[in-house]
Amino acid sequence: MSDPIEMVDRLGLAFLSQDVATVLACFVPDDDITYVGSEAGESATGRAEVQKLLEGLFDRPESYSWQATAATVHTVPGGAFVLAEADGEEHHPDGSVTSFPYRVTGLLSRRASGVWLWRAVQGAEPTTACLTVLV
């Protein structure tokens, strides 16, 4: 069994492994999946396209991970919509780690076994807003 918030962390650990099969195992096993990353061009729909995108991401020398710090979960029959704040980490080849704020939003599907798997997920790096008031 898993729960929706655990799936945020599981996906973060899968990304740290830089193993495409491990990440894809976090998604439903059919072709109707989507992954959107935090950078321009990091968007793919369909298992083959998501796999291709992940292969490109994992060619980078650094790896990424995240762990949820707070989350809102909206459940519906057979699914859940998750909005999670997370602590992200960029792991560099020299062993150093850079922390950053991260956000994971997505749709999970609950399988007959009770396991939750991602159908669609988006990662984002929230920035500090700067508001300008025009008078």
| 110 beta partners | 116
Mean pLDDT of the chain: 94
What CATH number is associated with residue 35?
3.10.450.50
In a domain, 79, yes or no: yes
State pTM to two decimals: 0.91
Q: Give the domain range for residue 26.
A: 4-124
At residue 128, the pLDDT reads 73
Burial of 108 (0-12, 13-18, 19+ CB in 10 A): buried
DSSP state of 126: -
Domain count, the chain: 1
In a domain, 129, yes or no: no
In a domain, 57, yes or no: yes
The yes-or-no verdict on residue 134 having pLDDT over 70 is no
In a domain, 73, yes or no: yes
CA distance 105 to 121: 6
CA-to-CA separations, 72 to 8, 22, 28, 79, 105, in angstroms, rounded? 12, 25, 21, 14, 10
In a domain, 131, yes or no: no
In a domain, 107, yes or no: yes
In a domain, 134, yes or no: no
Question: Using one digit for the tens of pLDDT, what is the confidence trace for 23-62?
Answer: 999 999 999 999 999 999 999 999 999 999 999 999 999 9
Question: Using one digit for the tens of pLDDT, what is the confidence trace for 71-100?
Answer: 999 999 999 999 999 999 999 999 999 999
The dihedral sign for the CA sequence 113, 119, 122, 123:
positive
In a domain, 89, yes or no: yes
- Going by C-alpha positions, the residue among 45, 42, 46 that lies closest to residue 56 is 42
